[in-house]
Amino acid sequence: MKRINVLHFGAGNIGRGVILPIYQQNDFSIDLVELNQNTVNELQKQKQYQVHYLDCDQSQLVNDFNTWNLKDEAKIIELMERADVISTSIGAKNLASLKTLFDKAKFHKRAIVLCFENGFRISSNFKNILQLNNTQVNFVDVVIDTIAPNFEKKANFLDIYCEKYSEIYAETFPLEIKGVNQKNSLDRFIIKKLLLVNALHSVIGLLGFQQKLKYVHETLQVKSNLTFVEKLAQQIIDALCAEYPEFNKNNLLSYGKNNLVRFANPKIQDLNTRLIREPLRKLNQNERFYAIYKLFKKNKIALNNILQVYLMVLKTNITDDTESQQIAKLINEKAWTELAKLSSLEESEWNLIKQELSREITKK
């Protein structure tokens, strides 16, 4: 039987730790594309690596793949043209860099595109970026929920440390992939994951960073932090149930509680700084914090906690994060009109944030 050809862009934690193990489990023919030459060299040399699971005493050997450098354009286009599945885990903001390859590739058969990225309907957004005329390419939206941190203590450069726990949902497409659950509609799964995983995770990172705590699990060991996150989670669940009657409240409560247990796992050693980068993206209207704000506003849920989160986002100053530095510069320049636009908050709520930021400047 002919093997399914898959081409995956991105040899980072999600690519190596989650996506390739799934493809290997399905006995797919795997081609992995990566831009970092050092990573490519090591993968081509060692031809295997281990995935170590941090929520159980298990590991998995991944050794059935070929590796290519993204700069090898002719070869990548050849692989794209014969692929049954093309997938990504390179970061949503980097997808536009693949446009040239997609423009040059001639798709003579049906190809499925799966973007395993954080965010709202990223595959659909990618389709809009590419504007392909070829109807052979089927863009399928995906939701992926697993924690794959930048683990510091590694015996082997290539090895990945992540959760074995993984939930992946995709809208229905004409290929069965073990490990990927297909649904007719993803809306509920997207919003549930965006708010009760991505948003809460980021909030913990913000709290920890402000308190000069290094890891997520350390942050949750502070009682006041756990209390704040639990209250926000309860508000989110109330809002989701009000907005989507098909949600079961007890199931959401269990889901939220389980996520906090996952985040509190000390073996994961998840850096708070990993979770709070790219603050401008996180304030986008298609992103986590605005989604919560909009839901709370519509369903008349108190805004004090989510506004506190907005304030933390704007005050977080990470020296090596471009977006964070951009916000810090605007605050120092008192560029309130531009900051108000970036926040997307309504005037009454923005004025509360502005007052707090002004106080911070005065203190300096």
Known binding residues for NAD(+): 6-17
The alpha helices in the chain, defined as continuous H runs, are 13-14, 20-25, 37-46, 73-82, 99-104, 122-130, 187-193, 200-210, 216-220, 223-243, 249-263, 272-275, 279-282, 288-298, 304-315, 322-332, 336-343, 347-363
The two tokens of residue 248 are: 């079961």
Q: Which residues participate in the annotated binding site?
A: 6-17
3-class DSSP state of 160:
strand
In order of 123, 124, 269, the CA distances from 131 in angstroms are: 12, 11, 40
Bridge partners of 145, per DSSP, are 167
Residue tagged 């423009």 (tokens):
103
Paired residues of 182 in beta bridges? 170
Residue type, 188: R
CA distance 44 to 134: 33
Q: For residues 142 and 170, is the Cβ–Cβ distance under 8 A?
A: yes
